[in-house]
Structure 1
Amino acid sequence: MAVEEKRAWAMAITAVVGYAAYVLIVLLGADGRPLVEAPYAGALLWTIVFGIVVGIVSGIWFGIAARDDGMQVDERDREIGRFGDHIGQSFGVIGGVSAMALAVFEAPHFWIANVLYLCFVLSAVLGSVAKIFAYRRGMA
């Protein structure tokens, strides 16, 4: 398995686990109140920081392992990386536009923050899945 494919798997898993933990923390924190009143900022920040740290550590770890095995990133890896990034970026744009629309309609901060976070997670997962499929099935 190519090192970039391993990184894509790590990013997808980290994004899903981090977001699932966030949703669970917010739902438990709501404690019968409306979601808008649930404390979310701390959980949001900690799960984002967790995802960033795990991404950096896994990237370093896979990079060291690949270097020790003599594996190098080639043109195919770079092309698949660009392909996955372009696919994933669509949700970044969707999240930005959605958050802007929510702000214009003066939605609570809870919903603006959550739509941005969800779209960032979907961007990471969709981009990673596109990379994994490109590695497994090839690019047509």
Structure 2
Amino acid sequence: MAFEEKRAWVMAIVAVIGYAVYVLVILTTADGRPLPEVPYAGAMLWTIGLGIVAGIVAGIATGIAARNDGLQVDERDREIGRFGDHIGQSFVAIGGVSAIVLAMVEAPYFWIANVLYLCFVLSAVLGSLAKIAAYRRGMQ
């Protein structure tokens, strides 16, 4: 498995676990209250921050483990990286447009922040999955 493919797996797994933890914290904190009334900012900041740290640590561990295999990045790796990034960036744009629409209809801040967070997670996960698929099936 190529080093860049391993990095894509790490990013996808960290993003899914981080978001799952966030959703679990919010749902347990809600305790029957409507979701927009749940204090979400602290949980969101902590899970994003811990996700970044976990991604860095996992990336370093992956790099150390792959050090003997060689860490060369060739043209195929760069092309697959661009392909996955384009897939992921589309969800960043979708999140931005969704947040603008929610702001225009004066939705609670909770929904605006959460749609942005969800789209960032989808960007990371789907971009990573696109890279993994390209490594497994090739670029066509």
Compute the TM-score of the two structures, normalised by the length of structure 1: 0.95
Q: Do 1:88 and 1:126's aligned partners in 2 also have CA atoms closer than 8 Å? A: yes
Q: Do 1:5 and 1:131's aligned partners in 2 also have CA atoms closer than 8 Å? A: yes
**More deviation, 58-67/102-111:** 58-67
Which residue identity is paired with 2:112? I
1:129: how far off? 0.4
1:72: how far off? 1.1
CA deviations on 1:81-135 (whole Å, 9 max, x unpaired) are 0100001100000000100111111111000000000000000010000000000
Question: Is the counterpart of residue 62 in structure 1 residue 62 in structure 2?
Answer: yes
Q: Where does structure 2 lack aligned partners over 5 or more consecutive residues? A: none
Distance of 1:70 and 1:84 partners within structure 2: 22
Question: Is the counterpart of residue 40 in structure 1 residue 40 in structure 2?
Answer: yes
Paired position in structure 1 for 2:30: 30
Distance of 2:15 and 2:66 partners within structure 1: 23
Question: Is the counterpart of residue 109 in structure 1 residue 109 in structure 2?
Answer: yes
1:74: how far off? 1.1
What are the equivalent positions in structure 2 for 1:1-140 lying under 5 Å apart? 1-140=1-140
**More deviation, 22-31/70-79:** 70-79
Moved over 6 A (4+): none
Distance of 1:137 and 1:69 partners within structure 2: 21
Number of residue-to-residue matches in the alignment: 140
Which residue identity is paired with 1:114? N
Q: Where does structure 1 lack aligned partners over 5 or more consecutive residues? A: none
| Root mean square deviation of aligned Cα | 1.1
**More deviation, 57-66/4-13:** 57-66
Distance of 1:106 and 1:11 partners within structure 2: 33
